[in-house]
Structure 1
Amino acid sequence: MGLDELSDDIDATYADLGEELSVALDTETRNELAMLESVYDPDETDELVRRAIHMLFQTAVDTGNLDFHLRSGYDVTYDEYLMGMTMDTYNEQPQQQQYPPQDDNARRYQF
Protein backbone atom coordinates (compact mmCIF):
# COMPACT_ATOMS: atom_id res chain seq x y z
CA MET A 1 0.00 0.00 0.00
CA GLY A 2 1.07 3.58 -0.37
CA LEU A 3 0.13 7.21 -0.44
CA ASP A 4 -2.48 6.84 -3.19
CA GLU A 5 -4.25 4.01 -1.34
CA LEU A 6 -4.24 6.03 1.89
CA SER A 7 -5.76 9.04 0.13
CA ASP A 8 -8.39 6.84 -1.50
CA ASP A 9 -9.26 5.20 1.84
CA ILE A 10 -9.55 8.58 3.60
CA ASP A 11 -11.79 9.95 0.84
CA ALA A 12 -14.02 6.87 0.94
CA THR A 13 -14.29 6.88 4.73
CA TYR A 14 -15.01 10.62 4.76
CA ALA A 15 -17.86 10.09 2.31
CA ASP A 16 -19.20 7.15 4.34
CA LEU A 17 -19.23 9.12 7.60
CA GLY A 18 -21.69 11.72 6.36
CA GLU A 19 -22.68 14.67 8.50
CA GLU A 20 -23.86 12.81 11.60
CA LEU A 21 -22.65 9.78 13.49
CA SER A 22 -24.61 7.66 15.93
CA VAL A 23 -22.39 6.15 18.63
CA ALA A 24 -23.32 3.49 21.18
CA LEU A 25 -22.00 4.26 24.67
CA ASP A 26 -20.90 1.76 27.27
CA THR A 27 -21.36 2.51 30.99
CA GLU A 28 -17.83 3.87 31.49
CA THR A 29 -18.02 6.16 28.46
CA ARG A 30 -21.48 7.41 29.44
CA ASN A 31 -20.24 8.18 32.97
CA GLU A 32 -17.17 10.05 31.67
CA LEU A 33 -19.26 11.97 29.13
CA ALA A 34 -21.75 12.94 31.85
CA MET A 35 -18.89 14.22 34.02
CA LEU A 36 -17.40 16.24 31.14
CA GLU A 37 -20.77 17.66 30.16
CA SER A 38 -21.49 18.68 33.75
CA VAL A 39 -18.11 20.38 34.10
CA TYR A 40 -17.79 22.05 30.69
CA ASP A 41 -21.48 22.75 30.14
CA PRO A 42 -21.31 22.80 26.32
CA ASP A 43 -24.24 23.96 24.19
CA GLU A 44 -24.51 20.40 22.85
CA THR A 45 -22.94 17.07 23.77
CA ASP A 46 -21.70 16.89 20.17
CA GLU A 47 -19.16 19.60 20.98
CA LEU A 48 -17.49 17.36 23.57
CA VAL A 49 -17.32 14.50 21.09
CA ARG A 50 -15.72 16.78 18.50
CA ARG A 51 -13.17 17.97 21.07
CA ALA A 52 -12.42 14.37 22.04
CA ILE A 53 -11.74 13.42 18.43
CA HIS A 54 -9.44 16.43 17.99
CA MET A 55 -7.60 15.54 21.19
CA LEU A 56 -7.20 11.88 20.21
CA PHE A 57 -5.90 12.89 16.79
CA GLN A 58 -3.44 15.41 18.26
CA THR A 59 -2.18 12.87 20.78
CA ALA A 60 -1.74 10.24 18.06
CA VAL A 61 0.29 12.71 15.98
CA ASP A 62 2.38 13.98 18.91
CA THR A 63 3.29 10.53 20.21
CA GLY A 64 4.08 9.03 16.81
CA ASN A 65 1.28 6.51 17.17
CA LEU A 66 -0.37 7.74 13.95
CA ASP A 67 2.91 7.42 12.04
CA PHE A 68 3.41 3.91 13.41
CA HIS A 69 0.03 2.78 12.14
CA LEU A 70 0.38 4.64 8.84
CA ARG A 71 3.79 3.08 8.26
CA SER A 72 2.46 -0.37 9.17
CA GLY A 73 -0.62 -0.17 6.97
CA TYR A 74 0.35 2.15 4.12
CA ASP A 75 4.15 2.50 4.29
CA VAL A 76 3.87 6.30 4.62
CA THR A 77 4.00 8.86 7.44
CA TYR A 78 1.66 11.71 8.28
CA ASP A 79 4.28 14.18 6.99
CA GLU A 80 4.33 12.33 3.67
CA TYR A 81 0.54 12.39 3.50
CA LEU A 82 0.50 16.15 4.14
CA MET A 83 3.17 16.78 1.49
CA GLY A 84 1.49 14.46 -1.00
CA MET A 85 4.72 12.59 -1.65
CA THR A 86 7.03 10.15 0.08
CA MET A 87 10.36 11.21 1.55
CA ASP A 88 12.16 9.17 -1.12
CA THR A 89 10.42 11.17 -3.84
CA TYR A 90 11.01 14.43 -1.95
CA ASN A 91 14.74 13.74 -1.45
CA GLU A 92 15.19 12.84 -5.13
CA GLN A 93 14.05 16.28 -6.27
CA PRO A 94 16.99 18.47 -7.28
CA GLN A 95 17.90 21.51 -5.19
CA GLN A 96 15.45 20.68 -2.43
CA GLN A 97 16.42 20.70 1.22
CA GLN A 98 16.89 17.13 2.34
CA TYR A 99 14.47 15.75 4.91
CA PRO A 100 14.59 15.86 7.88
CA PRO A 101 15.47 19.50 8.41
CA GLN A 102 18.70 20.07 10.29
CA ASP A 103 17.10 22.56 12.68
CA ASP A 104 16.59 20.61 15.90
CA ASN A 105 14.26 23.32 17.20
CA ALA A 106 11.83 22.99 14.30
CA ARG A 107 8.51 21.53 15.38
CA ARG A 108 7.62 18.39 13.51
CA TYR A 109 3.94 19.22 13.24
CA GLN A 110 2.43 22.63 13.60
CA PHE A 111 -1.29 23.11 13.96
Structure 2
Amino acid sequence: MSLDNLVENVQATNSELKDADYDLDREACTELAMLVTALDPEEPDELVRRAIHALFDSYVQTGKLDFNLRSEYDATYDEYLAGMSYDEMAGGGQTFPQDEDEGRRYQY
Protein backbone atom coordinates (compact mmCIF):
# COMPACT_ATOMS: atom_id res chain seq x y z
CA MET A 1 0.00 0.00 0.00
CA SER A 2 1.09 3.55 -0.60
CA LEU A 3 0.38 7.05 0.58
CA ASP A 4 -2.16 7.41 -2.22
CA ASN A 5 -4.01 4.35 -0.92
CA LEU A 6 -3.99 5.80 2.57
CA VAL A 7 -5.42 9.11 1.37
CA GLU A 8 -8.13 7.30 -0.61
CA ASN A 9 -9.03 5.05 2.33
CA VAL A 10 -9.20 7.93 4.81
CA GLN A 11 -11.35 9.97 2.44
CA ALA A 12 -13.68 7.02 1.83
CA THR A 13 -13.99 6.33 5.55
CA ASN A 14 -14.56 10.03 6.20
CA SER A 15 -17.44 10.02 3.70
CA GLU A 16 -18.95 6.93 5.34
CA LEU A 17 -18.73 8.54 8.77
CA LYS A 18 -20.48 11.68 7.56
CA ASP A 19 -23.40 9.49 6.49
CA ALA A 20 -23.38 7.62 9.81
CA ASP A 21 -25.18 8.58 12.97
CA TYR A 22 -22.31 10.63 14.45
CA ASP A 23 -22.59 14.29 15.32
CA LEU A 24 -18.95 15.24 14.80
CA ASP A 25 -17.28 18.39 13.60
CA ARG A 26 -15.04 18.17 10.54
CA GLU A 27 -11.81 17.77 12.50
CA ALA A 28 -13.16 15.01 14.75
CA CYS A 29 -14.62 13.19 11.75
CA THR A 30 -11.28 13.32 9.93
CA GLU A 31 -9.42 12.10 13.02
CA LEU A 32 -11.87 9.25 13.52
CA ALA A 33 -11.54 8.34 9.84
CA MET A 34 -7.74 8.17 10.22
CA LEU A 35 -8.06 5.96 13.31
CA VAL A 36 -10.57 3.67 11.60
CA THR A 37 -8.30 3.38 8.58
CA ALA A 38 -5.20 2.67 10.68
CA LEU A 39 -6.71 0.38 13.30
CA ASP A 40 -9.40 -1.34 11.22
CA PRO A 41 -11.91 -2.04 13.99
CA GLU A 42 -15.02 -4.09 13.27
CA GLU A 43 -17.14 -0.96 13.82
CA PRO A 44 -16.19 2.71 14.30
CA ASP A 45 -18.24 2.58 17.53
CA GLU A 46 -15.44 0.49 19.04
CA LEU A 47 -13.02 3.41 18.64
CA VAL A 48 -15.53 5.80 20.19
CA ARG A 49 -15.77 3.50 23.21
CA ARG A 50 -11.98 3.27 23.40
CA ALA A 51 -11.73 7.06 23.17
CA ILE A 52 -14.12 7.49 26.08
CA HIS A 53 -12.09 5.00 28.15
CA ALA A 54 -8.83 6.76 27.22
CA LEU A 55 -10.20 10.20 28.06
CA PHE A 56 -11.63 8.95 31.35
CA ASP A 57 -8.34 7.26 32.29
CA SER A 58 -6.40 10.38 31.36
CA TYR A 59 -8.63 12.55 33.56
CA VAL A 60 -8.35 10.12 36.47
CA GLN A 61 -4.55 9.78 36.17
CA THR A 62 -3.89 13.52 35.89
CA GLY A 63 -6.30 14.49 38.68
CA LYS A 64 -8.49 16.54 36.37
CA LEU A 65 -11.54 14.43 37.21
CA ASP A 66 -11.04 14.95 40.95
CA PHE A 67 -10.46 18.68 40.41
CA ASN A 68 -13.75 19.01 38.53
CA LEU A 69 -15.65 16.80 40.97
CA ARG A 70 -14.24 18.67 43.97
CA SER A 71 -15.15 22.02 42.39
CA GLU A 72 -18.70 21.01 41.57
CA TYR A 73 -19.61 18.40 44.21
CA ASP A 74 -16.98 18.74 46.95
CA ALA A 75 -16.09 15.07 46.45
CA THR A 76 -13.46 13.00 44.64
CA TYR A 77 -13.72 9.95 42.43
CA ASP A 78 -12.34 7.75 45.24
CA GLU A 79 -15.01 9.09 47.58
CA TYR A 80 -17.62 8.36 44.93
CA LEU A 81 -16.38 4.77 44.57
CA ALA A 82 -16.25 4.26 48.33
CA GLY A 83 -19.64 5.86 48.88
CA MET A 84 -18.27 8.01 51.68
CA SER A 85 -16.07 11.05 52.19
CA TYR A 86 -12.44 10.91 53.34
CA ASP A 87 -13.56 12.18 56.74
CA GLU A 88 -16.03 9.33 57.01
CA MET A 89 -13.36 6.84 55.92
CA ALA A 90 -11.07 8.11 58.68
CA GLY A 91 -13.84 7.84 61.26
CA GLY A 92 -14.26 11.59 61.74
CA GLY A 93 -17.75 12.69 62.64
CA GLN A 94 -18.93 9.11 62.39
CA THR A 95 -22.38 8.42 63.72
CA PHE A 96 -24.06 5.09 63.30
CA PRO A 97 -27.77 4.63 62.72
CA GLN A 98 -29.83 3.06 65.45
CA ASP A 99 -30.53 -0.02 63.32
CA GLU A 100 -27.94 -2.60 64.37
CA ASP A 101 -27.49 -4.06 60.85
CA GLU A 102 -27.07 -0.68 59.16
CA GLY A 103 -24.67 0.53 61.83
CA ARG A 104 -22.24 -2.29 61.13
CA ARG A 105 -22.34 -1.91 57.37
CA TYR A 106 -18.93 -0.18 57.07
CA GLN A 107 -17.26 -1.42 60.22
CA TYR A 108 -14.28 -3.71 59.73
TM over 0.5: yes
Measure the CA separation in 2 of the matches of 1:86 and 1:57. Answer: 21
Q: Which runs of 5+ in 2 are unaligned?
A: 1-20, 93-108
Measure the CA separation in 2 of the matches of 1:39 and 1:50. Answer: 16
Measure the CA separation in 1 of the matches of 2:74 and 2:41. Answer: 39
Coordinate RMSD, CA, aligned: 1.1
- Say whether 1:28 aligns with 2:27: yes
Q: What are the equivalent positions in structure 2 for 1:86-97 lying under 5 Å apart?
A: 86-92=85-91
Residue aligning to 1:71:
70
Measure the CA separation in 1 of the matches of 2:47 and 2:66. Answer: 25
Measure the CA separation in 2 of the matches of 1:69 and 1:51. Answer: 22
Aligned length: 72
Residue aligning to 1:55:
54
Measure the CA separation in 1 of the matches of 2:63 and 2:22. Answer: 27
AA partner of residue 90 (structure 1)? M
* Higher RCO (C-alpha under 8 Å, 6+ residues apart): 1
Return the structure number with greater helix share: 2
Q: Which runs of 5+ in 1 are unaligned?
A: 1-21, 94-111
Measure the CA separation in 2 of the matches of 1:23 and 1:31. Answer: 12
AA partner of residue 71 (structure 2)? S
| Secondary structure in structure 2 of the residue aligned to 1:92 | coil
Return the offset for 1:92: 1.3
> TM-score if structure 2 supplies the norm length?
0.64
| Secondary structure in structure 1 of the residue aligned to 2:90 | helix
Return the offset for 1:23: 3.9
Measure the CA separation in 2 of the matches of 1:23 and 1:69. Answer: 27
Alignment identity in percent? 58
Closer/same/farther in 2, CA of residues 23 and 73 from structure 1, 3 Å limit:
farther
Residue aligning to 1:44:
43
Is the radius of gyration larger for structure 1 or structure 2?
Answer: 2
